[in-house]
Amino acid sequence: MMENHILIIEDDVKIARVIQLELEYEGYTVSVGHTGRKGLEILEKEPIDLVILDVMIPELNGMEVLRRIRQDNDQIIVIMLTARNSVYDKVNGLDLGANDYMTKPFEIEELLARIRTNLRFKPRVSSDQTEEETIQIHSIKINTSTREVFKSESLVDLTPREYDLLLYLVTHRNRALEREQILTEVWGFDYYGDTNVVDVYIRYLRKKLMDSRENPIIQTVRSVGYMVKD
């Protein structure tokens, strides 16, 4: 029996109920909030592992709820529910720190698979690497206990996925990592997506780390993928 606690923030009562029943059948503990404010109230009172968050909800919309979640916690997994073809919502949600997104309408089996993948996900680093509380490379310093990243002593604001990607690249430095390999290790082996998501997140990281062509921190390995070199 799974013990993960999932919060559904969805104003459509029927959709929320269907998701709730499916999750409870799978063994999850489930809470439901039909407005943004109610969802945040539940988050304050109960230990939540994962949030299924609809973008279009009353009182506080999903983006604002996500922003407030990330102000206090970067460990809770957030899966956004967006309207079909709403590229802005997807990009904005990822920028604000969402771990994943689903477009409506969706198959419940895919949602369950995304939930399993995200709950199972942990950065796959070896034991000797995880014992290293502070990792320094070039002007980048990573504190693995607080999940903070500094560039020349200035704190860099990374989303949970950006942090996980950077940590994976750095702990496997001096190795050319294929996109498929990165996708498998950072997003999970049954992630439903293509390798383009790796390129998108590399661009995010490079911009935040002020990575330039003249002084690259993350190097592109032609026809292969990416590498961080000492």
Tens of pLDDT, residues 48-60: 999 999 999 999 9
CATH level 3 topology of 127-228: Arc Repressor Mutant, subunit A (1.10.10)
Residues 217/138, Cβ–Cβ less than 8 Å: yes
pLDDT at residue 126, as a whole number: 41
Residues 118/188, Cβ–Cβ less than 8 Å: yes
Q: What are the beta bridge partners of residue 219? A: 227
For the chain, the structural domain boundaries read 5-120, 127-228
The tokens describing 8, both together, are: 């559904």
Q: Which of 65-79, 100-114, 131-145, 150-164 has the lowest mean pLDDT?
A: 131-145
Task: Output Rg (C-alpha) for the chain, integer angstroms.
Answer: 18
**For the chain, what's the residue count?**
230
For residue 58, how many C-alpha atoms fall within 13 Å in the half-sphere facing its CB?
6
pTM: 0.57
Backbone angles phi, psi at 35, to 5 degrees: -135, 165
Work out the average pLDDT over 89-116. Answer: 85
Element (H, E) at 177: strand 177-178
| CA 43/CA 49 separation, integer angstroms | 10
Residue (of 169, 161, 193) closest to 97 by Cα position: 161
pLDDT at residue 196, as a whole number: 82
Backbone angles phi, psi at 155, to 5 degrees: -65, 130
Q: Which of 19-23, 38-42, 94-98, 133-137 has the lowest mean pLDDT?
A: 94-98
CATH level 3 topology of 5-120: Rossmann fold (3.40.50)
| CA 22/CA 167 separation, integer angstroms | 34
| CA 104/CA 50 separation, integer angstroms | 19
Residue (of 86, 217, 59) closest to 142 by Cα position: 217
pLDDT at residue 190, as a whole number: 53
